[in-house]
A and B are shown apart, each in its own frame.
Chain A
Amino acid sequence: MTARRWLLLVVLLAVACAAALAIGPVSLSLGDVARALFGEGDAQAVAIVRDLRLTRMGLAIVTGAGLGMSGAALQGTLRNALAEPYLLGVSGGAAVGAVVAVVAGLTASVALPVAAFAGAAGAVGLVLLIARATSGRTDPRILLMAGVVVGAFANAAIMILLAGAGEGAVRNALWWMMGSVAGADWTTVLWLAGYTLAAGALLLAVARDIDLLALGEDAAAGLGVRVSTAMRRIFLLAALLAAITVAGAGLVGFVGLVVPAMARGLGLRRAREVLLGSAVLGASLVVAADVVARTVRAPSELPLGAVTAIVGVPFFLLRLRRTA
């Protein structure tokens, strides 16, 4: 039963990836794709698959996996099915960090995630501070409101930072704030994948703490969790994962919300399973969403964040109804 679930997840990702490599302005058969991957066959097909679609798919996988795991960690630890990096303003904070870095002229694949992480960590801290100051214990509704407020503040900060920038920079920044995996190159993808693997592995290492924190803070303490240390660690890792995705693909909302719920819907229960399942499902979802984004109105592209939001918003409303 469990093995079948994981097989399903892997098949899902494989199908999404095959679609991402085959579908586009030049449509290729799966045979063409396979040959092109090994550098054989038509030179144009090789260039399209290897240089364009594969890098793009790679960035989509990293983005989806990071957002999925970040959402799964936040939901378990905050005991809140509506928690996710975008709605909690964490992605917004990361965007501020990234924009500051870009304005300061730091655009290296290494530096951008670090700057984004600083912004994301700041946002997490701020959201929790606001939520706790208002309601002592973390009330899920107040937490979301704090997230919205911090997100709005981040938006304002970005607008101010961009007010002096040239028109080209504003256009770029705007596109990026709506999320996109279009500008992917191998150096960036590999750096981000490395960061994601490291942060993901650390999160898997504290997964049992997430299981226990999902019972409530006192219950977790009674079961051997050093609550404040564990929570700080998990929030920082979740912020780091979200920051990596923001550095690579901008603001892609709702993936972190939808994907852990799907993983649980598939019967995954323990945090470690939910994290891994969310990584695979998130990757599949973002790869598929990117295929939609670049084919629905071809030759022009829809913003990736808009596509995920169109899936995510109705889902959010359904969840909200069930929680309330």
Chain B
Amino acid sequence: MITVTDAVVRYPAARVNALDGASFEARAGCVTALVGPNGSGKSTIVRALIGQVPLATGHARIGAFDCATADRRALARTMAVVAQREEPAFPLPARDYVMLGRYPHHGTWSALGPADVEAVDRAAHRAGAESLMDRRTDALSGGEWQRVRLARALAQGGEVLVLDEPGTFLDVAHEMAAYELLEALAREGRTVLLVSHQLNLVARFAAHIVLLHHGRVAAAGAPADVMRGEVLEPVYDWPLVVARDPAVGAPVLIPLKKR
């Protein structure tokens, strides 16, 4: 479970707080989506969870760990993060890259063993990246790279998964497959926190949506509670309507033309 309580983050030389008292929860067993306009604080929350930005006040917790003080390696065994951008400086075979997900399970000198190879194979299979394992990371398309990164996060093996825009660069089929996989992973008992701009997809797969605005939680709840015109319009500052998808019955956001 992820618990963020009254989190305040101020970047040096910034005039306003990037997070301004945000509180929310992401429970185990379901997908929680973190949405909001650009600059609303979504990525700052992800960076606070991995200890890359200090909280001025408030707390960010993963289960029993306090993100600010926890042993980083123990935290990495509990929570795997797929950040927005990540690219090896020097190309690797994809299998070696996925294997990096096993590093938090090892000390300085302990060798990676058969258990790690097995975890990597299992993760690659689940992420649909098996056929990519022998390719080099710089020879993968954007979508293939996303799947390999998801495999790396799964190889880490934590109870908590945090993904920043997992659908980027994926075509419709792969995007749907990725979201279905995340839903399945959550049903197995994991905590899945999803940062996304894809409100319509999120509305179908997330059980809980947290809408951020200016570093604060503007609304939070089931998709039906958050996906409402009067909630979203002031936050995105754009005229829009929310309809109901005729095929699957999920709320669908339709942005209108401004003039």
Contact = CB atoms under 8 A, between A and B. Distances in A.
Contacts of A205: 108-109
A92 to B, nearest CB: 24
A5 interface: no
B85 interface: yes
B50 A222 contact: yes
Interface residues of A, number: 26
A141 interface: no
A211 B88 CA distance: 9
A218 B80 CA distance: 12
B37 interface: no
Main secondary structure on B side of the interface with A: mixed
Nearest to B83: A218
Given A215-B88, A219-B86, A224 B93 contact: no
A219 B92 CA distance: 16
A264 to B, nearest CB: 6
B100 A212 contact: yes
Contacts of B72: 221, 224-226
B107 to A, nearest CB: 9
Contacts of A75: 89-90
Contact of A215 (B77, B80, B87, B93): B87
B52 A227 contact: yes
Contacts of B109: 205
Interface string B25-44: 00000000000000000000
Contacts of B4: none
Residue among B80, B89, B109 with max Cβ neighbours from chain A (10 Å): B89
Contact of B96 (A81, A206, A264, A269): A269
Contact of B103 (A80, A211, A217, A227): A211
Interface in A191-220: 205-206, 208, 211-212, 214-219
B86 A215 contact: yes
A233 interface: no
A282 interface: no
B156 interface: yes
A222 B76 contact: yes
B187 interface: no
A216 B86 contact: yes
B81 interface: yes
Contacts of B86: 215-216, 218-219
B128 interface: no
Contacts of A215: 86-89, 100
Contacts of B47: 218, 221
B89 A79 contact: yes
B229 interface: no
Nearest to A227: B52
B125 interface: no
B87 A223 contact: no
Contacts of B108: 205-206, 208
A217 B81 CA distance: 12
Interface string A267-309: 0011000000000000000000000000000000000000000
Interface string B90-107: 101100100011011010
A269 B92 contact: yes
B73 interface: yes
Given A222-B80, A225-B72, A81 B52 contact: no
A81 B104 CA distance: 26
Interface of B: 47, 50-52, 72-77, 79-81, 83, 85-90, 92-93, 96, 100-101, 103-104, 106, 108-109, 156, 162
The 10 closest A-B pairs by CB, nearest first: A224-B76, A222-B81, A79-B89, A224-B73, A224-B104, A219-B86, A221-B50, A214-B89, A218-B83, A224-B72
21 contacts: A208-B103, A208-B108, A211-B100, A214-B90, A215-B87, A215-B89, A217-B52, A218-B83, A219-B83, A219-B86, A221-B50, A221-B52, A222-B81, A222-B83, A222-B162, A223-B101, A223-B156, A224-B75, A226-B72, A264-B90, A269-B93
